[in-house]
Structure 1
Amino acid sequence: MSGARASGGKAAPAGTMDTGQALARLEAAVERLAIAAARPRGPVGEGVSRAQVQAIADRLDETIARLRSALGEDA
């Protein structure tokens, strides 16, 4: 895992995080998502609903769009 939690795992106050820190935190979050996605699944009907997965995906898309905007990249 990357060094995104070098500050003790606490989030920096809004507006004080530099781009490198933000990218490291995003990279660490994506790494955690990949690890969770690779875990064996339980029987059908258990776990997270499709609606919950969609809500998480929507939030991730919004977060990525904000990051791209902050970095001055086109979507």
Structure 2
Amino acid sequence: MSAAVLDAPRPTPAGPSQFPGEETIAEVDFVTEMKLRTWARQRYCNAGAREPDWHPVILDEMRRIDGEVWA
């Protein structure tokens, strides 16, 4: 997969949401979201090595992986 996945559209939140990041993730189409999550799993790194400008879906997936490690 190319690095273009990092350039996926970053929608702006429409308003307050019940869950953090929900509005951003909900705005990305399913195929793009799966590509972003796959990219995150293939290139997982610890929290200190993550770039803050990565797509919110990538950061969300890496946080999920963090939780799996200790589950």
- Given the two structures, how large is their TM-score scaled by the length of structure 2? 0.36
Greater relative CO, 1 or 2 (CA 8 Å, sep 6+): 2
- Given the two structures, how large is their TM-score scaled by the length of structure 1? 0.35
